[in-house]
């Protein structure tokens, strides 16, 4: 598969905001003689009769209101590199073909992605989400795919060698002169010689004798034709991702608001996810640097956005959502002129197991959805406002759990599980859903009465002057001797007159909470839902 980027000189200078994207714009560059020529135009400029190859003076006379931009080969190479990283989630065999093409060997990926149509759709979607206009072609040889993509014909797909050779025949030689290998580029003299012999297309080149073409300096054309038609090998050097993932993007204009930065995040995140896929890794922590414009008299530090993930992920849509949530909370101290996205935490992830049968519950999908919700809440509310309850090895209810931050890079609750069987759940004592911060003393229902009456010698508990009825036998908790905070309590589930269930306890002799010589008291410690 070949992805041809016909507007790369203009798209590499983006991403452009909506009002500016609709304006006529052109990119110019100086040729070998120093003359400035138009090399790329957008649709609005083409409607004003601006065409690539025109003189810049001519374009200025035709459309003086058009935006004129100088070509930047460094930014074009950076955009091609980011796209090569982003497409790593589809295949590891990627070959950049400068100045404006990418080659992907996709035969081994067809079954994984459900066929050539779905794979091509995903490749085009990733490219367009990066702000690049794209045209694709499919062929059995690399050079044939390049030629078909650059030709701009309607039928650019040839999945068999016979159809590939057939589709190549009507291609014009003038459009293919710049698509040969860099060390075998056909000169203008050889192309002029072939046209003088009547060869306008590859079919015409087939009819000419090869020995004569080699003697006349057209050996590069013969060799390229053999490689395109599969008669000679055409080895390519695969793209190698860098060891560390650090992506930079220079904005075409100063961003005064956070909304101007959201569109620039998409190509960076797609490149990051492609790098992770090729390395069989998943992100656990990211850092986004907002670089401010540096003036002559001041040096402003970068604004940093740290992102910790509850579950390792290389899903581009999920990461883009989290970064946008964080950006909504940022107040820019100055205009931003460039971005840097850096991977600060990662762990190995070679894939995720799926259910064997379709009717089996998807527990992994449920866990992923829960982890995604936690990540979005953390990004929107802040890390300090989202806590989890962590079990502790202590029988005292107020110390049996503590609040902690969600664990980055791991599953919640994976280190400690509650009993799941029905027998274990039935044997476990009841616990309320709401535990008070500190036990609240209960008052007796009224003055002492005759023996056996409520609130007399039996010390019946009462809440706000209303007696409570005990429903369970006492659950004795006696611990704390190891840290000097001895507790001796008898817990009960009590029913109030309004039908609510309360969790109360009565202190026993020797408890740290009991005053010397005082009678045992009742305390309220929690309530049930």
pLDDT classification of 11: cutoffs 50, 70, 90: very high
Q: 0.85 cut: is pTM over it?
A: no
Evaluate whether 168 touches 227 at the Cβ level (below 8 Å). Answer: no
Which is it for strands 101-104 and 401-404: parallel, antiparallel or unpaired? unpaired
Residue 298, pLDDT above cutoff 70: no
Residue with tokens 């190995």: 348
pLDDT > 90: percent of the chain: 51
Evaluate whether 323 touches 285 at the Cβ level (below 8 Å). Answer: no
Q: What is the structure's pLDDT at 14?
A: 82
Q: pLDDT tens digit string along 140-178?
A: 999 999 999 988 766 678 899 999 999 999 999 888 877
What Å distances lie between residue 4 and 134, 137, 445, 526, CA to CA? 6, 8, 85, 67
Q: pLDDT tens digit string along 36-64?
A: 999 999 989 999 999 998 999 999 999 99
The better pLDDT of the pair 75, 456 is held by 75
DSSP string for 345-372 = EEEE-------SSTTS--HHHHHHHHHH
Cα angle 89, 93, 98; round to 5: 100
Residue 289, pLDDT above cutoff 90: yes
Give which of 390, 510, 365, 522 is closest to 454, Cα–Cα. 522
Give which of 486, 467, 464, 490 is closest to 477, Cα–Cα. 490
Q: pLDDT tens digit string along 508-525?
A: 875 555 555 567 889 999
H/E element, 388: strand 388-391
Count of alpha carbons within 13 Å of 166, Cβ hemisphere only? 8
Enumerate the H helices of 303-421 as residue ranges.
316-327, 363-381
Structure tokens at 38: 């138009």
What is the number of other CB atoms lying within 10 angstroms of the CB of residue 315? 16
């Amino acid at each position: 598969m070949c992805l041809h980027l016909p507007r790369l000189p203009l798209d590499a200078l983006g991403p452009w905001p909506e009002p500016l994207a609709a304006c006529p714009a052109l990119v110019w560059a100086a040729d070998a003689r120093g003359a400035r020529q138009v090399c790329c135009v957008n649709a609005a400029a083409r409607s004003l009769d601006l065409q690539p190859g025109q003189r810049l003076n001519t374009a200025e006379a035709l459309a003086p209101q058009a935006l004129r931009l100088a070509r930047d080969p460094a930014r074009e190479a950076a955009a091609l590199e980011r796209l090569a990283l982003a497409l790593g989630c589809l295949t590891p065999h990627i070959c950049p073909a400068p100045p404006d093409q990418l080659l992907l060997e996709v035969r081994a990926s067809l079954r994984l992605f459900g066929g050539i149509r779905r794979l091509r759709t995903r490749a085009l979607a990733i490219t367009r989400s990066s702000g690049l206009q794209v045209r694709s072609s499919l062929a059995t040889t690399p050079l044939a795919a390049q030629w078909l993509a650059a030709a701009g014909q309607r039928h650019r797909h040839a999945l068999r060698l016979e159809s590939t050779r057939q589709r190549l025949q009507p291609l014009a030689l003038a459009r293919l002169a710049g698509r040969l290998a860099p060390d075998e580029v056909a000169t203008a003299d050889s192309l002029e010689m072939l046209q003088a012999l009547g060869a306008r297309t590859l079919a015409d080149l087939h009819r000419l004798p090869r020995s004569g073409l080699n003697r006349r300096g057209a050996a590069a054309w013969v060799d390229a034709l053999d490689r395109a038609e599969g008669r000679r090998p055409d080895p390519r050097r695969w793209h190698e991702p860098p060891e560390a993932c650090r992506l930079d993007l220079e904005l075409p204009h100063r961003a005064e608001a956070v909304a101007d930065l959201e569109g620039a995040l998409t190509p960076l995140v797609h490149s990051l996810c492609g790098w992770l896929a090729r390395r069989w890794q998943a992100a656990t922590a990211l850092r986004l640097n907002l670089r401010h414009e540096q003036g002559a008299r001041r040096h402003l530090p970068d604004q940093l956005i740290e992102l910790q993930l509850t579950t390792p992920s290389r899903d581009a849509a999920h990461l883009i959502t989290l970064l946008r949530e964080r950006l909504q909370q940022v107040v820019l101290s100055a205009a931003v002129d460039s971005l840097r996205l850096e991977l600060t935490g990662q762990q190995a992830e070679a894939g995720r197991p799926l259910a064997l049968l379709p009717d089996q519950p998807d527990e992994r999908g449920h866990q992923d959805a829960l982890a995604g919700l936690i990540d979005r809440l953390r990004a929107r509310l802040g890390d300090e406002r989202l806590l989890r309850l962590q079990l502790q090895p202590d029988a005292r209810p107020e110390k049996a759990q503590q609040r902690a931050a969600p664990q980055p890079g791991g599953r919640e609750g994976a280190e400690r599980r509650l009993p799941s069987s029905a027998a274990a759940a039935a044997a476990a004592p009841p616990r309320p859903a709401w535990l008070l911060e500190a036990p609240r003393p209960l008052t007796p229902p009224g003055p002492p009465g005759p023996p056996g009456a409520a609130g007399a010698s039996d010390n019946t508990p009462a809440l706000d002057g209303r007696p409570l009825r005990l429903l369970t036998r006492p659950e004795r908790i006696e611990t704390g001797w190891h840290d000097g905070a001895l507790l001796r309590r008898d817990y009960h589930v009590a029913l109030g007159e309004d039908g609510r269930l309360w969790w109360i306890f009565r202190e026993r002799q020797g408890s740290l909470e009991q005053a010397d010589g005082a009678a045992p008291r009742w305390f309220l410690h929690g309530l049930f839902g």
